[in-house]
Structure 1
Amino acid sequence: MEITLTTPALLFPALSLLLLAFTNRFMSLAKLIRDLKHRYQTSHSHLVFGQIQNLRTRLFLIRNMQAMGIASMFSCVLCMFMLYRGWQTAGEIIFGVSLVLLMVSMSLSFREIQISVKALELELSDLEQGEASGPLVLP
């Protein structure tokens, strides 16, 4: 298979959108961590502490998602440079590496979503248990 200089350029819009989505996840996670830290400092709830530990895992995954996405984008640029210089075989190999890095990034994203959904399910089950013991009375 022979690729041209424009082939790796096709990944730039997808990579840019993925990195933007990962950054948004990171920002919302950072806000949530700050809120939970404040909540834990006032309540010392084991449930809140467990959520914070869960968020630490998700933060690790998001960091690696971003790193793999950036490495994929860098590889695309490197591939384009290789193709520009006429090093077709090297460019094709680097393009393959870029695709693999993109797949790793998306796999980490999938895992982070699974953890996020599990955390929400735990939150809902805690709410349901609280409801079963009696309705909440709001002031």
Structure 2
Amino acid sequence: MQLSLTTPALLFSAISLLLLAYTNRFLSLAALIRSLGNQAGACGVADAQIANLRQRIRLIRWMQEAGVLSFTLCVLSMLLIYLDKHGLAFWSFGASLALLIYSLMLSVVEIRISQKAIDIFLDSLKR
């Protein structure tokens, strides 16, 4: 398979938008954590929400790290193509894609945990 300079360049906008979305999630969670800290709600619900939020923050950090590493390897593959090191560029681009897939899978897990947080909140409203 031949890898041209434009192939990794196509991922730039996708990875950049993905990192922006992850940052927005992180900022939303930070605001939610601050508002939860200002509330004096039921201890059981607050404990469950805090555990959920800790897990989500950890996942978002891993998503961001994988996205940044993916972006870095994508840039590295472009540099390697420019330096006429096509074998290394091929593997660098493949690793970039693998990290992007990992980041997206973590995103799915975080979305599922987010849904559990909403369930915890809705259960507290029934009481």
Into which bin does the TM-score normalised by the smaller protein fall?
A: over 0.9
TM-score with structure 2 length normalisation? Answer: 0.96
Q: CA RMSD in A?
A: 1.1
User: What's the counterpart of residue 110 of structure 1?
Assistant: 108
Cα deviation per residue 1:62-86 (whole Å; 9 max; x = unaligned)? 0000000000000000000000000
User: What's the counterpart of residue 73 of structure 2?
Assistant: 75
Aligned counterparts of 1:25 and 1:2: Cα–Cα separation in 2: 37
- Following superposition of structure 1 onto structure 2, how do residues 50-61 of structure 1 map, counting pairs within 5 Å? 50-61=48-59
Match of 1:94 among 92, 95, 99: 92
CA positional deviation for 1:53 = 1.1
Aligned counterparts of 2:58 and 2:88: Cα–Cα separation in 1: 32
Letter in 1 for 2:111: I
User: What's the counterpart of residue 124 of structure 1?
Assistant: 122
Letter in 1 for 2:66: M
User: What's the counterpart of residue 136 of structure 1?
Assistant: none
TM-score with structure 1 length normalisation? Answer: 0.88
Greater length-normalized contact order (CA 8 Å, ≥ 6 residues apart): 2
Cα deviation per residue 1:12-37 (whole Å; 9 max; x = unaligned)? 01001100000000000000011111
Letter in 1 for 2:69: A
2:83 is equivalent to residue 85 of structure 1: yes
Percent of aligned pairs with the same amino acid: 49
Q: Structure 1 stretches (4+) deviating beyond 6 angstroms?
A: none
**Is contact 2:67–2:103 with CA below 8 Å preserved after alignment?**
yes
Aligned counterparts of 2:22 and 2:45: Cα–Cα separation in 1: 26
Letter in 1 for 2:8: P
Letter in 2 for 1:28: S
Match of 2:3, SS state, is: coil
Match of 1:10, SS state, is: helix
User: What's the counterpart of residue 30 of structure 2?
Assistant: 30
**Is contact 2:69–2:96 with CA below 8 Å preserved after alignment?**
yes
Count of residue pairs brought into register by the alignment: 127
Cα deviation per residue 1:73-115 (whole Å; 9 max; x = unaligned)? 0000000000000000100000000000000000100000000
User: What's the counterpart of residue 135 of structure 1?
Assistant: none
